[in-house]
Amino acid sequence: MTNDKLTEPSEKRVLCFGDSNTWGSVPVTGQRYPRDVRWVGRLGGLLGPDYDVVSEGLSGRTAVGPDPVMRLNSAYDDLQVALRSHKPVHHVVLMLGTNDFKRRFGLSEFDITNGLAHLVQLILRSGEVVAGSSARLILVAPLTVRLDGALAEKERRKRLLDFSDGVEVSQLLPACLQKLAEDAGCAFLDPNKTLQASEADAIHWEAETHVGFADLVAQKILGS
């Protein structure tokens, strides 16, 4: 006799696909927040036992293509693997774009949007994503780059070299992603309305930001 509880898992799987802020990088130090601080870990607690929340965050990951400097694969390739390895997937939280603001890529908000559009279509057309509502995919706008914060001199030099050309692009990207989500028929979340990146290093998140963001994502999923 087959045990249905073993062959047919009842939990809904949430795949969180992103960069260092999904991985849980601590500002400046690059260490990792504990699981109960990271937004992905907190999201699991908020959603409860009926959900299996999976973290697929990678520091340095870009939306548009591979990073030859950091020797990282294309997000498109990584996402295909993640969808297959965690199937069936009921919800995907997609948050990328921060690393694409780096000066060495020279990308506009439209370039980054086009890169994310390929990822959006991969998710929406994937047989591994089984939920039917629009919230099967939540497209998230990354928080804007903050070069006006209380950066230490060493950190300021580093961030200016990396992101000085990306501040305006980061401010223009949310509107582009909102339009992308509307056209694709998926959910959209712009945390910039209530949250901000750390003043300590311009791009990563303080612990309270992880708390606030987890709340926003949980509301999207549970309200779908």
59-94 pLDDT, tens digit each: 999 999 888 888 888 999 999 999 999 999 999 999
CB 14, CB 53: distance < 8 Å: yes
- pLDDT at residue 132 greater than cutoff 80: no
**SS3 at position 51:** strand
pTM for the full predicted model: 0.92
More confident residue, 162 or 206: 206
Q: Which residues pair with 9 in a beta bridge?
A: none
Q: Which CA distances in Å does 34 have to 57, 155, 200, 214? A: 14, 23, 19, 14
At 121 the pLDDT is: 96
**Among 64-68, 154-158, 193-197, 211-215, the least confident range:** 154-158
Q: Which CA distances in Å does 4 have to 48, 129, 179? A: 21, 21, 42
Q: How many C-beta neighbours within 10 Å does residue 167 have? A: 16
